[in-house]
């Protein structure tokens, strides 16, 4: 039985709990989180390790099910779906970006981006797949690198391929788990620039990070502690990736001049 609610929220978490029953001790990783995320939001979920943010992300990403509580994605109760149903939801509605990029090695950028379409419910012709994958790569500024393999790309470029892959099925939600964790500061800002541009185009983004300065590129910060929401407030002094990048370049040139 799948419930639906009338809501314009992309994500509606209602008193979500997650308890891991491993051995003798139950681990209560998430203890009652309620959260609404509206279309077009750009949210950073922060917290130290053990705060439950990864567990929460896994549930938002439909990789895992809450032990208790309800989760509505696009108004659809997904907290009770089985494995296959969740796989379909992930394919339709969610795009994943991981810390370690998670591209298939020895497979070109274009084929990596095409990969989620292999599992689409509605079959696309292979020329359509190629077309959409190429458009997605264009969106992240990697049009020229379509036939490169991951080991021929820099970390920032690999992460862009991963973002293109996340976008290819036009999801309602982009989920990024520490997307800048493996990148240097300049590349991190570039990636945040890509996110800001996508967000301006209307894509809802949720990002897990533990870096405060990265969180300042988002619009709203949710801080977790011990499986509960500690604070949930809009970002006041929001950074713009484009101008930050400019500043950084000026600083670098100044060093060279000196």
Partner 1 sequence: MRIFAPFRLAGRALRRNKMRSLLTMLGVIIGVGSVIASVSITTGATKQVEDKVASLGQNVVTVFSGNFSSGGMKGGWGSAPTLTVEDSRAIKNEVANVVAVSPEIRDRAQVLANGQNWNTQVLGESPDYPQIRDWDIASGGMFTDGDVRGIGKVAIIGKTVVDQLFADTDPIGQTLIVRNIPFKVVGVLETKGFNLFGQDQDDVVIIPYTSHMRRLSKRNFVNSILVQAADKNSINQVQDDITALLRDRHKSAEPDFTVRTQLELMQMATQTSKIMSVLLGAIASVSLIVGGIGIMNIMLVSVTERTREIGIRMAVGARGRDILIQFLIEAVTLSAVGGIMGIALGMAAAKITSNLTGWPTLTPVAWIGIACLSSAGIGIVSGFYPAWKASRLDPIEALRYE
- Compute the half-sphere exposure of residue 33: CA atoms within 13 Å on the CB side of its CA: 35
The distance of closest approach from Cβ of residue 241 to partner 1 in the complex, given in angstroms and rounded to an integer, is 26
Instruction: State the Cα–Cα distance between residues 48 and 46, nearest whole angstrom.
Output: 7
Instruction: State the Cα–Cα distance between residues 205 and 213, nearest whole angstrom.
Output: 17
**Residues touching partner 1: how many (CB under 8 A)?**
26
Cβ neighbours, 10 Å, residue 49:
8
Nearest to 192 by CA among 211, 173, 170: 211
The yes or no reply on residue 170 touching partner 1 (CB under 8 A) is: no
The yes or no reply on residue 104 touching partner 1 (CB under 8 A) is: yes
The yes or no reply on residue 14 touching partner 1 (CB under 8 A) is: no
The distance of closest approach from Cβ of residue 177 to partner 1 in the complex, given in angstroms and rounded to an integer, is 9
Instruction: State the Cα–Cα distance between residues 215 and 45, nearest whole angstrom.
Output: 8
Q: For residues 89 and 73, is the Cβ–Cβ distance under 8 A?
A: yes
The yes or no reply on residue 18 touching partner 1 (CB under 8 A) is: no
Q: Which of residues 216-235 bind partner 1 (CB under 8 A)?
A: none
CB closer to partner 1 out of 86 and 145:
86
Q: Which of residues 140-169 bind partner 1 (CB under 8 A)?
A: 165, 169
Binding mask 46-75 toward partner 1 (x if CB under 8 A, else -) reads ------------x--x-xx-----------
Cβ neighbours, 10 Å, residue 152:
12
Q: For residues 67 and 73, is the Cβ–Cβ distance under 8 A?
A: no
Residues at the contact surface with partner 1, assessed by CB under 8 A = 58, 61, 63-64, 83-84, 87-88, 90-92, 96, 98, 102, 104, 106-107, 115-116, 118-120, 123, 126, 165, 169
């Amino acid at each position: 039985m799948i419930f639906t609610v009338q809501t314009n929220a992309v994500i509606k978490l209602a008193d979500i709990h997650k308890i891991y029953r491993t051995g003798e001790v139950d681990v209560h990783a998430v203890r009652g989180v309620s959260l609404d995320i509206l279309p077009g939001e750009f949210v950073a979920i922060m917290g130290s390790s053990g705060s439950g943010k990864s567990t929460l992300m896994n549930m938002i990403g439909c990789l895992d099910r809450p032990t208790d509580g309800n989760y509505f994605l696009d108004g659809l109760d997904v907290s009770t779906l089985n494995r296959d149903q969740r796989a379909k939801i992930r394919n339709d509605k969610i795009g994943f970006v991981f810390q370690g990029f998670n591209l298939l090695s020895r497979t070109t950028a274009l084929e990596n981006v095409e990969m989620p379409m292999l599992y689409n419910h509605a079959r696309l012709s292979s020329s359509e797949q190629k077309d959409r994958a190429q458009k997605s790569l264009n969106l992240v500024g990697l049009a020229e690198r379509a036939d490169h393999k991951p080991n021929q790309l820099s970390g920032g470029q690999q992460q862009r391929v991963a973002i293109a892959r996340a976008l290819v099925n036009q999801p309602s939600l982009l989920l990024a788990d520490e997307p800048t964790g493996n990148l240097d500061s300049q590349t991190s800002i570039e990636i945040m620039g890509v996110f800001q541009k996508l967000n301006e185009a209307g894509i809802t983004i949720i990002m897990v990070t533990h870096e405060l300065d990265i969180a300042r590129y988002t619009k709203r910060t949710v801080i977790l502690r011990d499986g509960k929401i500690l604070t949930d407030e809009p970002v006041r002094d929001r950074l713009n990736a484009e101008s930050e990048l400019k500043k950084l370049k000026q600083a670098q040139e100044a060093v060279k001049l000196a």
